[in-house]
Amino acid sequence: MPLTDATVKAAKPQNKLYSLHDERGLSLEVAPNGTKRWRFRFQLNGRRNRLSLGVYPEVRLKDAHVQRDEMRILISKGVDPAKHRAQEREQKKGHNTFEAVAREWFSKFSSNWTEGHGQTISTKCASKSCGSGPCSRACF
């Protein structure tokens, strides 16, 4: 029987981890500390796998259904959803470096500057020590 918003919201923690099963591989794990985590179980190339889709209430039932359906499409194409997710994360890392964000900012605002000011900003602000690192650890 498919889960409902009311069932998910009403799920209470117990002494042990337990699962409430939805349809087509989706389930909600309820931990003893009250954390509710969406899980997707699937089989690919003869191996059983389990993938986390996020924590409730940040990921609602409707969102979990959408993610599950996206994962099932990948599986139907022979793509491992876990590996696909890891590849997407790696690609996003490169776009979130200090250098990438600084270049985007520079190109957006530099058209209003003199050439000399643009060069000064470029050399002083785009420090090589910060460039390849993620924005979360920028050296300000």
60 and 123 belong to one structural domain: no
Rounded Cα–Cα distance for residues 116 and 85 (Å): 43
> Tell me, what amino acid is at 99?
E
Residue span of the structural domain in which 42 resides: 5-80
Q: Which two tokens stand for residue 65?
A: 């259904």
What count of other Cβ atoms lies within 10 Å of the Cβ of residue 87?
A: 12
pTM: 0.67
CATH code of the domain covering residue 68: 3.30.160.390
Question: What are the pLDDT tens digits along the chain (140 aa)?
Answer: 899 999 999 999 999 999 999 999 999 999 999 999 999 999 999 999 999 999 999 999 999 999 999 999 999 999 999 999 988 887 777 666 777 777 777 778 777 888 788 777 777 665 555 556 666 555 54
- DSSP single-letter state for residue 15: S
67 and 21 belong to one structural domain: yes
Rounded Cα–Cα distance for residues 113 and 8 (Å): 55
Q: Omega of the bond prior to 57 within 30 degrees of 0, cis?
A: yes
